[in-house]
Amino acid sequence: MSHTDPAVLAVVVPTLDEATRLPGLLADLGHLRIPWELVVSDGGSTDGTVDLARQGGARVVTAPPGRASQLMAGARATAAPWLLFLHADSRVPTDAVGALEDFLASAGEDEAAYFEFALEGDGWFWRFLERGQRLRERALGLVYGDQGLVVSRAAFDAVGGYPSWPIMEDVGILERLRKVSRIRCLPACVVTSPRRYEAEGRWFGWLRNASLIALYRLGVPPARLARWYPRDGRPERDRQSPSGDRPASDTEARLDGRVPPLPEDRGAVEERRALIVFAKAPRPGRVKTRLAADLGAQEAARVYRHLGRRVLDAVRGGPYRTLVYYDPPDAEAEMRDWLGGESLEFRPQTEGDLGERMARAFEEALRDADRACIVGTDVPALRAALVVQALERLESADVVLGPAEDGGYYLMALSRPHPEIFRDVPWSTADVLGATLERTRRAGLRESLLPVLKDVDTAADLPAYLL
């Protein structure tokens, strides 16, 4: 590992109690001849993983357990121009090291790559899985996270990184990257442990994975698919889904926002509830004008694009229909390319000031739903669980508001249209929340307030990963 020259490559490895597997991967990476660094993103190990990583020269960061969140935390911890994402139970043979170095020697920022799939051990069953994956890869373009991912920082940032899904994050990022990058398979294997197949039962694990991939291809959201991962037979504190997530209790999962509550008849609930996302096309000079005063129009648009995709992914797939109301009205193709089309419906915003446009969006959404919630795209801490909480509070309230630190609000939920609460509000000021509460009380409406969150308006509001 080079410490004298700036790293060309950062290897990002998510871990959770991987003390027995990590040393082998570290030894393999030691054969790299280019300037590189290792970032270990740990989800709460208690077996000495963190100490081993630091002894091996790694930069260690911590993140909530779950591959998507850990991979994103690791990527944010490095400024290297190229990223390699690997699983901790993988091995990188010398031919794979050579293939990686050859790729980096000639690749452009619009190229990405992965390795061939291989499993440790002898026996026909592992070769059967390998051949099946090669066929699926050729026919459907589906690649396992076990195959690694090499991507430029520029392309990674352009697509917003990994989607905030409890599973299928490896599939999700490849779908995004294919829109901006040329992706190829390197002529060498990364070799992965088959331990989860062994723990769950070989045929059961294979059938489970094949079924979930098929359901995903049919449009079933990852948040729903996550419920169908069986426990893997490891000790309770060590149990993870194959995506790397520990199975939390329902309460824990709802609080941390990784998995929204899933009612028994979720399909019916989705039809009766709607999430409205107000968003603008991320065009320089048209978005985040206050932020642009600090950073410039191009950089402000980049931040808006990155943040908007992250927020949308954090609320996507909940037990509600998600309606993206966009502006300007000619931007639908641009919005779909930016936000993806998975589980989203796109509608243009109407004319008028912000209040008139929000009132009209609520009116339209509540024609087909009995509850609706509206949010923007500039609150980094927004999660699907908070949206669900807002919709649930409409059982006993007429208006639910999420106060923002700057005096506005980041969320509103209604069960009936109330255009009067949007009239003559001093938008883009610190008086927005106060004026809205005054109008709700004047109308005799019961309100409920969610926790206060910060939105991004100026450079001082930016999270570290967006700087």
Give me the CATH number covering residue 453: 3.90.550.10
- Mean pLDDT across 8-32: 90
Whether 190 and 278 map to the same domain: the answer is no
Give DSSP secondary structure letters for 360-383. Answer: HHHHHHHHH-SEEEEE-S--TT--
Which of 162, 197, 232 delimits the end of a domain?
197
Whether 153 and 297 map to the same domain: the answer is no
Whether 299 and 443 map to the same domain: the answer is yes
Whether 457 and 355 map to the same domain: the answer is yes
Q: Where are the alpha helices (DSSP H) in 141-227?
A: 153-158, 169-177, 195-200, 202-217, 222-225
Strand ranges inside 110-171, DSSP E: 111-119, 149-152
Q: Would you state the torsion angle of the CA atoms of residues 451, 455, 459, 460, taken in this order, to the nearest 10 degrees?
A: -10
Which residues touch 240 (CB under 8 Å, ≥6 apart)?
Answer: 16, 65, 232, 234, 246, 247
Domain span at 67: 9-197
Indicate whether 234 belongs to any domain: no
- Mean pLDDT across 437-442: 93
Average pLDDT, the chain: 82
Indicate whether 243 belongs to any domain: no
Q: Is residue 229's pLDDT more than 60?
A: no
Which of 197, 215, 233 delimits the end of a domain?
197
Whether 444 and 314 map to the same domain: the answer is yes
- Mean pLDDT across 152-170: 85
| Category of 323 on φ-ψ map: left (φ > 0), alpha (ψ -120 to 50) or beta | beta
Pairwise CA distance, residues 42 & 46, whole Å: 10
Whether 44 and 139 map to the same domain: the answer is yes
Whether 156 and 289 map to the same domain: the answer is no
Percent of the chain with pLDDT over 90: 37
Number of structural domains, the chain? 2
Whether 182 and 292 map to the same domain: the answer is no
Q: What is the pLDDT of residue 270?
A: 55
Pairwise CA distance, residues 312 & 318, whole Å: 11
Whether 184 and 42 map to the same domain: the answer is yes
Q: Is residue 2's pLDDT more than 70?
A: no
pLDDT, tens digit, for every residue of 374-429?
Answer: 999 989 889 888 999 999 999 999 999 999 988 899 999 999 999 999 999 999 88
Whether 318 and 440 map to the same domain: the answer is yes
CB of 426 within 8 A of CB of 432?
yes
pLDDT, tens digit, for every residue of 364-380?
Answer: 999 989 999 999 998 98
Pairwise CA distance, residues 272 & 264, whole Å: 14
pLDDT, tens digit, for every residue of 242-282?
Answer: 333 333 333 333 333 333 444 444 445 556 899 999 999 99
- Mean pLDDT across 20-30: 89
Token pair 């609930």 in the structure block, residue: 269
Whether 289 and 418 map to the same domain: the answer is yes
Pairwise CA distance, residues 421 & 404, whole Å: 18
Whether 321 and 448 map to the same domain: the answer is yes
Indicate whether 254 belongs to any domain: no
Indicate the helix (H) or strand (E) that contains 140.
Answer: helix 124-140
